[in-house]
Amino acid sequence: MTRVGLTAERLTRAGAELADEVGFDQVTVSALARRFDVKVASLYSHLKNSQDLKTRIALLALEELADRAADALAGRAGKDALAAFANVYRDYAREHPGRYAAAQFRLDPQAAAASAGGRHAQMTRAILRGYDLTEPDQTHAVRMLGSVFHGYVSLELAGGFSHSAPDSQESWSRILDALDALLRNWPAP
Amino acid sequence: MTRVGLTAERLTRAGAELADEVGFDQVTVSALARRFDVKVASLYSHLKNSQDLKTRIALLALEELADRAADALAGRAGKDALAAFANVYRDYAREHPGRYAAAQFRLDPQAAAASAGGRHAQMTRAILRGYDLTEPDQTHAVRMLGSVFHGYVSLELAGGFSHSAPDSQESWSRILDALDALLRNWPAP
DNA sequence: ACAATTTGCCTAAGGGGATTAGGCAACAGC
DNA sequence: GCTGTTGCCTAATCCCCTTAGGCAAATTGT
């Protein structure tokens, strides 16, 4: 029997592709085994279990997302940075819905600590350097931005804004305008 | 054999309770059968299948949420209405995490049309009557509010804001202040 | 009150995914 | 070429989903 050359990394990448094709919750050890034309049990030499697979895909997605965001942020500030950052999330979710869903996967504290989650938070804070916010308002703003981006992208992905005017792209642009205005004029307590 | 008296309604309610206890994705026809001390196959006289069960729970959650929101909105306007509405979502999600997750369940067009989704949208629009927005900005604002509420609640439920200062309640209040300010001063295109 | 009918829950059976134990063949290093 | 390790396999167990067909309990009509 010829060996196929499975590794945790190859399985994770293939799992991510599978997620984008059929949805993250349809990513299964069995489906992955079929994809490699290998018996299911064989994967257990490389993966601890099904949760391990999903965690790895989630970590991959978080890394990719952070990399793209870092790229987009380079050399930008103010509203420019805000929009670039936001678009990275939205575009990633549209290009890779399965991976985006994976990035929402509930990680255990172990994995969460090792994830790119920290980079995301840092970058969101970096954007706010272009605005005049001090703590604790900065944290409130970070949380709000995260909520809007995640919320909008989730709802859009779930089909919430299709089949109704105006265009989702239009709303997205205007919401970014509104957020920029809000950050420039954050209300005092 | 004595009959237990299963009905789709009782199963749906029990499913919702189960969801709150163990998580919506752990809600299974088998677990529900165990809860009623009945064989699994017996449930299929009342439910079409597993997806049917989940859809029913989702519809129940959407109704409950809409009822609470309608209640909270009665007699309120402006920021008062905004905060009351937002708190309904957040409180419901904290009291009933499984149901809240169910409300996010992807419904087929059939079920979606019969759901309380429309009421939610109408109520969000009603809140905006207290502000001076015309179309299409009103729709943009509706979408933004939905995104913030859903996004914040999701992130909070996923544990995103615990273990870090300031308190999540604090951020929530300040974000509502900020949204109110933004709606009173929505930027021109 | 009792027969006829409907209906609720059951047993049985088949299919798929997760996971573990134990075996043998392919590879790497000497 | 021999040896030890590793990769993939078979086999077995468990849990969930779903359908088919049967018997008994509730309900209905007389």
pLDDT of residue B163: 82
pLDDT in tens, A41-73: 999 999 999 999 999 999 999 999 999 999 999
Query: For residue A147, which residues of chain B lie inside 8 Å, CB to CB?
Result: 147-148, 151-152, 155, 175
B123, B66 contact by CB (below 8 A)? yes
Query: For residue B158, which residues of chain A lie inside 8 Å, CB to CB?
Result: 104, 106
pLDDT at residue A171 tops 70: yes
pLDDT of residue A115: 94
Distance CA A70, CA A117 (A): 13
Distance CA B79, CA A36 (A): 56
The closest alpha carbon to B86, from B15, B7, B152, belongs to: B152
* Planar angle of CA A180, A145, A160, nearest 5 degrees: 100
Identify the residue with better confidence: A159 or A79: A79
B179 to chain A, closest Cα gap in Å: 8
**Count of C-beta atoms within a 10 Å radius of residue B55:** 24
* Nucleotides of chain C touched by protein CB (<7 A): 8-13, 16-22, 25-27
pLDDT of residue B1: 60
For chain A, give the percent of residues with pLDDT over 90: 90
Residue carrying the six token digits 């905006």: B128
A96, A61 contact by CB (below 8 A)? yes
Residue carrying the six token digits 């300031």: B166
**What pTM value is reported for the model?**
0.93
* Phi then psi dihedrals of residue A134, to 5 deg: -115, 165
pLDDT of residue A124: 95
pLDDT at residue A1 tops 70: no
B174 and A137 within 8 Å at the Cβ level: the answer is: yes
B147, B95 contact by CB (below 8 A)? no
A5 to chain B, closest Cα gap in Å: 34
User: Which nucleotide is closest, CA of A45 to its C1'?
Assistant: D7
Query: Average pLDDT in the A171-175 region?
Result: 98
pLDDT at residue A88 tops 80: yes
Q: Which pair of structure tokens corresponds to residue B46? A: 């009342």
* Planar angle of CA B175, B172, B73, nearest 5 degrees: 85
Task: Walk along chain B (189 residues) and give the pLDDT tens digit of each residue.
Answer: 678 888 999 999 999 999 999 999 999 999 999 999 999 999 999 999 999 999 999 999 999 999 999 999 999 999 999 999 999 999 999 999 999 999 999 999 999 999 999 999 999 999 999 999 999 999 999 999 999 999 999 999 998 888 888 999 999 999 999 999 999 999 988
